[in-house]
A and B are shown apart, each in its own frame.
Chain A
Amino acid sequence: MRRSGTILAVLACELRQLVRDGKALFAAVLLPALLLPLMFLGQDSLEKLSRDTLAAREVQIVLDLRHGQDAVVQGFREKLAERAPIVLTEVDAGVLATREQAGESLSDDTVREQVQAIFDDGAELLVTAESVPLGSATPAPLGTRFHLYYDVKDDSGREARQRAQECLNELRETIELDRRQELLGIDPALGLSFDVVDVASDEEASGAALGRLLPLFSVFILIAAGSYTALAAFAGERESGTLETLLVQPVPVAEIAWGKYLAVLVTGLVALGCNLASLQVCISLNIGSLPGLGDSGGLGIGRLLAGLVYLPGCVLVCALVCLVCGRARTFREGQMTVLPALLFTLLPTAVASQPELEMDLLLAAIPLTGPALALRDALRGQLSLGPVLMMFASHAVWCWLLLSRLASILDAEKVLNSGDSKAELHQRRTMARRAMQFGFVSVLATYMIGGTLQSKSLFWGMTVQFWLLLPLIIWISTRTMSRLSSESGGSVLGLRAPSALHLAGSLCLIPGLAWLAANFGAWQQTVLPLPKGALDNPALVGAITDFSLWKLIFLLAISPAIWEELLFRGAILFGFRHDLSRRRALLLQAALFAAAHASVYRLVPTFIIGLLLGGLRLRTRSLLPAVLLHAGYNGLLVLGMSGRVEALAPESWPAWLPWLGIPGLAMLALGAPRAPRKISAAPQTLD
């Protein structure tokens, strides 16, 4: 009874403070709910408005139809005349209208110049016509080809083109119909007809649409609202200096943490409720059109009950938010973690929007994927009992695992770690922030610049990315870290010789790692199949198989090994390590490393490899083993697994080869461990 008393007291205290923070309450909970109908309404009315104004707009069309067949040209003029408001003007389009007859083909620039000259007088569309022979018989009957010249940047031009095109389509149908009737009497196409009936009720169809939407929607809302409360309840308490007071109260810290967690959960659920209500209002008032929701897309009681299967997901997301935001020492530091947390939770949730994915026992047990699939199936009305039970059971375990970590958030040893002055602390936080910023910059640069260049030319795109873009970021970040820590650039990047044993150990890890990656890939293919066609995408695979062996090794093994290691395991890990614990620094740099690979399919393997390489860098205190392992691993995958070099394919390996990893690990563990330096907390004394 006492126990629940403390938890309730903390919960009430947190909620009271949240409610009194009017601005935050408004921004985190109410504003999104209010913006939802506005967004739909705005989007809808904007669309309608632009449609209406365009349809009502008078467009200027100029015609030069001298060379077309009279009957067709006449029909076209009639159709255009029916479609008011159009201002028709006759012009002499000169060489444009006569080019077929003149037998010359025009360059794009000439066409552009000519059309522009005509458009300068206010016209928005130019239509020319020419007669073309139909078939190869001599003399062939003549048809008419129209040319429509417009400017895609001009709204009126697009509208004029659309009207003219519609007229031409109608005309073609009329001509076709007339001719068919003339030849055959009754249309033979009438001998075959069919219609399509959707046996799913409106209710079910809209349920399925909601099922794809709601899990992602829920994760967004829960994290946005929950992270605010979590930051206030944990980091805020640290910042305002009340945490120490709380820790000397005669109650277990776990109870305090539980009270705070419940506050996060309550805020998240209330925000979710508000936003769902807002969504419901939008649907029932027919504000805006949600894709595929139809007319009976409401949330009704039945659907809200179905939503209960997502409750484990809510509990889990809120626990995650608490654990992630709770470890931050300040609001600012906490805000850094919200985006990665969001990405981290969206990924398993988004799996549920894959239509062909069936919820089975394995998927049900995956955190967040299970509840999202259950919600999807429940809204479709196709929930099967086995996987749902599995989902609840496994999520009870996940929740328990996460929630049992809650008390550690308020662990005084970590929270109140004394012994460093404020200035020093501030400087170190600056370094972690900078490391995070450089990480984001490199991820974005890889996506935007590297991605764009690679889509033009794979070889040059990758070369520029690895030998220009990344070195630039590395140079700037190393200089920054070096200035902040007053250590040399070399020691920021870890450019020192490793022990021979460590070097040998990391070489031994290569085949085992490649073997694990191949097996993981095979397993992942069953859970998260690659989209069909990805493997035989001719642009990509073609380009890669066209490369010579040396080009491949250079691009896919050596370049990434050098530059990615210098960036992620060099400058970024150094920055994180200055501020954060070993574990957090490793996790964050691995997450950035995985994100930089811009692929859902490679996310998990690259994350794990990022962890391993980071661990190697910290263990050996040198970057070289990580570079070697990275290069060897990439090289083996590229050459062996892709079948380029038969002798290196895993089937032809001796069976013992992957097991070399075990002595490798032993060498790394045993090789010259450095004893931690002992430093007195007191001012240095003169001896």
Chain B
Amino acid sequence: MSSQDGDALAIQARGLRKTFHDPQRGEVEAVRGLDLECRHGEIYGLLGPNGAGKTTTLRMLATILAPTAGSASIDGVDVAADPLEVRRRIGFLSGSTGLYARMTARETLRYFGRMHGIAKGPLEARVDELIEAFDMGSFAEGRCEALSTGQKQRVSIARAVLHDPPVLILDEPTTGLDILASSAMIDFIESRRSAGTCVLFSTHILSEAERLCDRIGVIYDGRMLAVGSLKELQSQTGEEWLEDVFKALVRDADGAALGDPVQ
């Protein structure tokens, strides 16, 4: 993996580690020394089964959780040193993201615009622009509780890109969506490539990763097992299908046969 000095990487993580204290189970190591690098304009998929540490990793990169050890930076800004600046540079969205039921789409966008410190005039213009771009004109004035899943999804995406962030971090963005809404989400991710945005997203759906990603990182048991394009992973393991690639990697990591870790 190459690191270009001077021109900062969109996302860089070194030896990232996260330990939780769980009241029942004691210390739980969710992420154990993880390295990650994403370039601008790259779509990077984090692939792994439930409980592999994907969400924890993304939350650490998004400054929601503080790493127990290791370092990470977004667009050259260290997550521990200046979390607020990092948050200005990322758009974050997860599959479980909700909306305020009793606010309208326009109010929601306005609210998060104010959080980003956008002045009133430019904010109104930006909100209008997003409503236009995501085709929300017909429901922008209705309360979010009355919207369909697809409409809610569009509001959430518009909210995440409101401040035009150079980096998008999406945690299982298609979880809980129907076919139409999830294909709209995939189209959106694809459209970011041409805009020069770095998209880091996690998924456990293999077809999504195959279709979208420039590079795939396979994460398992809190560790990164392998990183590369689909082709590189195929040649590394000698398997053709991503599913088999994944199984082979996990098998190597465990050093023993394992049934089927992927649902």
| Residues in chain A within 8 A of chain B (CB atoms) | 2, 5-6, 9, 13, 16-17, 20-21, 240-242, 244-245, 247-252, 412-413, 416-421, 428, 577-582, 676-683, 685-687
Contacts and interface: CB of A to CB of B under 8 A. Distances in A.
B85 interface: yes
Contact of A250 (B24, B52, B88): B88
A5 B117 contact: yes
A247 B85 contact: no
A683 B262 CA distance: 11
Given A2-B117, A251-B84, A681 B29 contact: yes
A244 B22 contact: no
Contacts of B97: 241-242, 244-245
A535 to B, nearest CB: 44
A76 to B, nearest CB: 73
Given A248-B92, A578-B24, A676-B26, 18 more contacts: A5-B114, A9-B115, A17-B101, A240-B100, A240-B101, A245-B159, A250-B87, A251-B84, A412-B65, A413-B20, A413-B66, A418-B55, A419-B30, A581-B23, A676-B21, A680-B28, A682-B51, A682-B221
B88 A682 contact: no
A241 B98 contact: yes
A683 B30 CA distance: 11
Contacts of B12: none
A582 B88 CA distance: 36
Interface stretch (B56-64, B134-142, B189-197, B207-215): B56-64
A679 B28 CA distance: 5
A677 B22 CA distance: 10
30 contacts: A9-B114, A16-B102, A16-B107, A17-B100, A17-B101, A17-B103, A20-B102, A20-B143, A240-B101, A241-B97, A244-B64, A244-B92, A244-B96, A247-B64, A248-B64, A248-B87, A251-B84, A252-B84, A416-B59, A416-B65, A418-B59, A676-B21, A676-B26, A678-B29, A679-B26, A681-B28, A682-B51, A682-B52, A683-B261, A685-B258
A680 B112 CA distance: 37
Contact of B26 (A20, A250, A677, A682): A677
Contacts of B115: 6, 9, 249-251
B52 to A, nearest CB: 6
B68 to A, nearest CB: 10
Contact of B256 (A20, A249, A250, A687): A687
A582 B26 CA distance: 12
Contacts, number: 139
Contacts of A250: 84-85, 87-88, 115-117
A244 B172 CA distance: 14
Most chain B beta carbons < 10 A, residue from A240, A249, A582: A249
B65 A685 contact: no
Nearest to A2: B117
A420 B22 CA distance: 9
B173 interface: no
Contacts of A245: 92, 97, 112, 159
Contact of A677 (B25, B222, B256): B25
In the A-B complex, the 6 residue pairs with the closest CB atoms: A241-B98, A676-B26, A682-B221, A249-B115, A250-B87, A240-B98
Nearest to A239: B98
Nearest to B91: A248
A421 B55 CA distance: 13
A419 B27 CA distance: 11
Interface of B: 20-30, 49-53, 55-56, 59, 62-66, 84-85, 87-88, 90, 92, 94, 96-103, 107, 111-112, 114-117, 143, 159, 220-222, 254, 256-258, 261
Most chain B beta carbons < 10 A, residue from A245, A247, A676: A245
Nearest to B98: A241
A419 B53 CA distance: 9
Contact of A681 (B102, B112, B222): B222
Contacts of B111: 9, 13
A293 B97 CA distance: 54
B222 A682 contact: yes
Contacts of B66: 413
A27 to B, nearest CB: 16
A248 B23 contact: no
A324 to B, nearest CB: 19
Nearest to B32: A680
B51 A241 contact: no
Most chain A beta carbons < 10 A, residue from B22, B98, B101, B115: B115
Nearest to B53: A681
Contacts of B50: 421
Nearest to B86: A250
B102 A21 contact: yes
B51 A679 contact: no
A413 B21 CA distance: 10
A683 B84 contact: no
A578 B28 CA distance: 16
Contact of B64 (A21, A416, A582, A687): A416
Given A5-B114, A13-B111, A418 B56 contact: yes
A680 B221 contact: yes
Contacts of A679: 22, 25-28
Nearest to B24: A578
Contact of A417 (B20, B62, B220): B20
Contacts of A5: 114, 117
A682 to B, nearest CB: 4
B55 to A, nearest CB: 6
Contacts of B116: 249-250
Contacts of B143: 20
Contacts of A685: 221, 254, 256, 258
B49 A683 contact: yes
Nearest to A14: B100
Contact of B20 (A16, A249, A418, A580): A418
A562 B222 CA distance: 46
B104 to A, nearest CB: 10
Contacts of A683: 49, 51, 221, 261
A284 to B, nearest CB: 37
Contacts of A680: 28-29, 221-222
Contacts of A252: 84
A229 to B, nearest CB: 13
Contacts of A21: 102
B28 A244 contact: no
A681 B64 contact: no
B28 A419 contact: yes
B220 to A, nearest CB: 7
A682 B23 contact: no
A180 to B, nearest CB: 79
A131 B66 CA distance: 96
A680 B94 CA distance: 24
Contacts of B222: 680-682
Contacts of A579: 23
Contacts of A416: 59, 64-65
A363 to B, nearest CB: 39
Contacts of A418: 20, 30, 55-56, 59
Contacts of A247: 64
Nearest to B66: A413
Contacts of B25: 419, 677, 679
A675 B85 CA distance: 39
Contacts of B52: 682
A528 B173 CA distance: 60
B96 A678 contact: no
Most chain B beta carbons < 10 A, residue from A2, A16, A21, A579: A16
B215 to A, nearest CB: 23
A135 B45 CA distance: 110
Contacts of B100: 13, 17, 240, 242
A247 B97 CA distance: 12
A486 to B, nearest CB: 13
Nearest to B114: A9
Contacts of A687: 256
Contacts of A13: 100, 103, 111
